Chain A
Amino acid sequence: KQEVTQIPAALSVPEGENLVLNCSFTDSAIYNLQWFRQDPGKGLTSLLLIQSSQREQTSGRLNASLDKSSGRSTLYIAASQPGDSATYLCAVMRARQLTFGSGTQLTVLP
């Protein structure tokens, strides 16, 4: 059974800092990996999708990497802003199903 772990569970940083969120998974036979953002009381917003054949994807201040062989992905956020405060979830796709990590709750302090 696929297991997805996100460390740390919570992170608090001052505004302007660059930060890295980590995601690890136990079964490397994945089709893709997706990073989401969730604001309190809201649904999930897709941030980045990395196909299994790709090493990284970038969108604005966000950069996600994937090392399938080691079962790891990172989400890099540059020049963090208070508006980045949210819970960040990673999820891996295999056999038509997404398995989610429990998320990292990020707080960016003004």
Chain B
Amino acid sequence: DAGITQSPRHKVTETGTPVTLRCHQTENHRYMYWYRQDPGHGLRLIHYSYGVKDTDKGEVSDGYSVSRSKTEDFLLTLESATSSQTSVYFCAISESSSGGQTYEQYFGPGTRLTVT
């Protein structure tokens, strides 16, 4: 299994509270991703990173920010959590070709976030 850990694994928070989720990898892969998974919507990309301090938005980025100060860590922050952000959040990693395209993605175990 790819060396990906996510913390915390479960969190319950109140509306309006800031929340930070952490993804840590030991594979030294260049690309890191944050997804959310919801019934009826499947997996959707929130943000991704293609290097230290290099990030870009995905399909559902509103209300989320990310940071990557080290190769191994990718943080997802909900500045002011809302009930619509209750979801399961997955981190993924992949390596890239010299042309910038990405290879196989490997997923972490997920974080279940409940916003009350």
Closest to A49 in B: B104
Give Cα distance in the complex from A100 to B90, angstroms: 13
Whole-angstrom distance from the CB of A73 to the nearest CB of chain B? 15
Count A-B contacts at CB 8 Å: 51
Residues B43 and A89 in contact, CB atoms below 8 Å apart: yes
A46–B106 touching, CB < 8 Å = yes
Interface of B, secondary structure class, is strand
Please name the residue on chain B nearest to A45 by beta carbon.
B107
Report whether A43 and B108 are in contact in the complex, using a CB–CB cutoff of 8 Å: yes
Establish whether residues A102 and B105, one from each chain, have CB atoms under 8 Å apart when the complex forms: no
* A34 and B42 contacting across the interface, CB-CB below 8 Å: no
> A32 — which chain B residues lie within 8 A by C-beta?
101, 103
Interface residues of A: mostly helix, strand, loop or mixed? strand
Interface residue A98 (Cβ < 8 Å from any Cβ of B) = yes
A96-B50 contact, Cβ under 8 Å, with A43-B110, A101-B42, A102-B42: yes
The count of residues in chain A whose C-beta lies closer than 8 Å to any C-beta of chain B is 20
Q: Which residues of B contact A61 (CB under 8 A)?
A: none
Whether B31 is near chain A, meaning CB under 8 Å from some CB there, is yes
Pairwise interchain contact A96-B104, C-beta atoms closer than 8 A: no
Would you give the 0/1 interface string for A84-110, flagging 1 where the beta carbon is closer than 8 Å to chain B? Answer: 000001010100111011110000000
